[in-house]
Copies of this chain bind each other. A is one copy, B any other.
Amino acid sequence: MDKLPKIVIVGGGFGGLYAAFTLHKKPVDVILVDRRNHHLFQPFLYQVATAGLSPGNISQPIRHILSRSPNIRVLLAEATEVDPERRQLHLADAQIPYDTLILATGASHSYFGHEEWKPFAPGLKDIEDAVEIRRRILLAFEAAERELDEARRKALLSFVVIGAGPTGVELAGALVEIAQHTLAHDFKSINPAQARIILLEAAPRILPTFAESLGQAATQYLTKRGVEVRTQTAVTRISSGLVEAGSQRFPAQTILWAAGVAASPLARTLKVPLDKAGRVLVHPDLTIPGHPDVFVIGDIAAFHHQGNKPLPGMAPVAIQMGRHAACNILRKIQGQETLPFHYRDKGMMATIGRNAAVAEIGPFRFTGFPAWVVWLWAHIFFLIGFRNRLMVMIEWLWAYVTFSRGVRLITGDTTLASRRSSSDRPN
């Protein structure tokens, strides 16, 4: 038994998990290391941030997902460094030797060198972030209800979302629903529907990675619902309650960051070339230069697909890479050569809110209600765990019929004055 090749997977996101699925009951000894006990369905994270779903609805214990794989062990631990020379993964308090490593630790947000913006404009990458954003959104309305000063009240009811990729669009769409429907009848002094939701994007159009017609459709949906969409507006400064873009000033109590991503810092410890976002430039077979026993997959990998831009950081890419890396490992064990990775484009989609989304799947482009239905089913299909699927569908059916949101819970500090960064406030 001890002679089986030892595969260490770091990260239990889509990439790491699908690599593990592919190694299920194969003649290898697998350890999956994650600093969280749960797999997180990141595409629904904005729903937790906007009080639509509970954290428990979009997460599942990694240990439980893999409980039927006798050859896979799950370890809750933080990896601090990879030593590819000695073939060791360093944890905070131990080392794990490996024969083959799969690095799948994903990405976090990047403030483009302005780390000082972080406390004022939290990003959305984990449950803690989502609960902190939920807290800020709900507290802003509560504080506005008590505020007597008109300018201050306006700032409390202003929400700026920076970055109009799918996450920014989804956040802005959900915010406008909260203001106009969910909270519409709950306040006595303010009218939540007067909230101002501003979506800022530095590029000439929103959803810049999508087809141009879809970006236009999304702009129309958002504008019609009341979101102020400002393209070609690059943020130059963020301070407490104020976003500046050149000479433009946007006073807003609540500022959300959905702009940049940076690869997990573990990438740097490999000591191989990285791209500007800190992602590892991988070989076509997903290994790294000089170390055919190290595979890098998912958001932490920069894979240049047929000479084009690197593949985007999204679940279908990570899933296919995870499967492919595992297959290549099994091929090597059988003495076969590794195969280059080819991404089968499953399309991409973003939702604007109820009954509205944009989607491109192969040559087809959908907008509006059909796109929304496609978005809904595609996402529920990939959500792990039958129970989670069931609960999410019920929450949504409920929200769809009643316009309400189930998880309007403020936890932690209930004073707005606090300016601690999101990392200080666990869920």
Which A residues are within 8 Å of any B CB, using their own CB? 35-38, 54-57, 59, 61, 63-64, 67-68, 73, 75-78, 92, 127-128, 131, 138-139, 142, 145-146, 185-189, 387-388, 390-391, 394-395, 398, 402, 404, 406-415, 425-427
Contact = CB atoms under 8 A, between A and B. Distances in A.
Contacts of A142: 37, 76
B406 A387 contact: yes
Given A38-B409, A409-B427, A425-B426, 12 more contacts: A68-B185, A73-B188, A76-B146, A76-B414, A92-B415, A127-B409, A131-B411, A387-B398, A387-B404, A387-B406, A413-B426, A426-B426
A404 B404 CA distance: 29
Nearest to A31: B188
B391 A411 contact: no
Most buried by B among A38, A186, A187, A390: A186
A409 B55 contact: yes
Contact of A35 (B189, B402, B414, B426): B414
Assembly stoichiometry (copies): 2
A418 to B, nearest CB: 10
Most buried by B among A55, A388, A409: A409
A75 B146 contact: yes
28 contacts: A37-B138, A37-B142, A54-B56, A54-B57, A56-B406, A56-B407, A56-B409, A59-B409, A61-B186, A63-B186, A63-B187, A64-B186, A64-B408, A73-B189, A75-B145, A76-B142, A76-B145, A76-B146, A77-B146, A78-B414, A92-B415, A128-B412, A131-B427, A387-B402, A387-B406, A390-B398, A391-B391, A409-B427
A391 B395 contact: yes
A61 B186 CA distance: 9
Contacts of A404: 64, 387
A329 to B, nearest CB: 21
A15 to B, nearest CB: 20
A371 B390 CA distance: 29
Nearest to A126: B411
Contacts of A425: 426
Contacts of A394: 390-391, 394
Given A54-B56, A394-B394, A426-B425, A410 B185 contact: no
A408 B40 CA distance: 12
B411 A128 contact: yes
Contacts of A187: 63
A76 B190 CA distance: 14
Contacts of A406: 56, 387-388, 391
Contacts of A57: 54
